[in-house]
Amino acid sequence: MLTTETGRAQSIRFLVAQGESLGLPRAELLAAAGIEETQLEDPDGRVPVSKFWDLWRFIGREVPDPDLGLKLGQRTRVRETGIVGYAMLHSITLGGALARLARYGKIFSQRAELSFDPVGDQWRLVQHRPPLYRSQRQVADGRTAAVLSVCREITGREIAPTLVLLPYARPADIRAHRQVFRADLRFDEPSWSLHFRATDMGLPLVAADETLAGYLDEVAALRLEELPKDESFTDKVRRVVWSHLTEGQPTVVRVASELAVSGRTLQRRLREEGHSFAEVLETLRKEKAEVLLQDKNLAIYEVGYLLGYSDATAFYRAFRRWHGSSPREYRQLSSS
Would you kindly state where each structural domain of the chain is located, as residue ranges?
A: 1-64, 69-220, 225-335
SS3 content of the chain, % helix, strand, coil (to 5): 60, 10, 30
181-229 per-position pLDDT tens digit: 999 999 999 889 999 999 999 999 885 544 444 444 444 334 334 434 4
Q: What is the pTM of this model?
A: 0.69
Beta bridge partners of 151: none
DSSP H helices, 188-309, are: 208-214, 233-244, 252-258, 263-272, 277-292, 300-306
CA distance 131 to 191: 8
* Arch. (CATH architecture) of 225-335: Orthogonal Bundle (1.10)
Return the bridge partners of 186, or none.
165
pLDDT at residue 217, as a whole number? 40
Angle at 163 between CA 162 and CA 167, to 5 degrees: 160
Instruction: Quote the mean pLDDT of the chain.
Output: 83
pLDDT in tens, 85-127: 777 877 778 998 898 888 777 666 655 678 999 998 999 999 8
Instruction: Name residue 204's amino acid.
Output: P
What is the percentage of the chain residues whose pLDDT exceeds 70?
84
More confident site: 166 or 211: 166
Q: Among candidates 152, 160, 201, 197, which has minimal Cα distance to 179?
A: 160
Closest CA to 56 of 146, 165, 126, 186: 146
- Tell me the pLDDT tens digit for each residue of 44-88: 777 787 888 889 999 999 998 999 999 999 998 887 776 777 778
Sequence-distant (≥ 6) Cβ neighbours of residue 209 within 8 angstroms: none
DSSP 152-219: HHHHTS----SEEE-SSPPPS--HHHHHHH-SEEE-S-SS-EEEEEGGGGG-B-TTHHHHHHHIIIII
Using the Cα atoms of residue 112, residue 40, residue 304 and residue 317 in order, give the sign of their dihedral: negative
Task: Provide mean pLDDT across the span 21-34.
Answer: 94
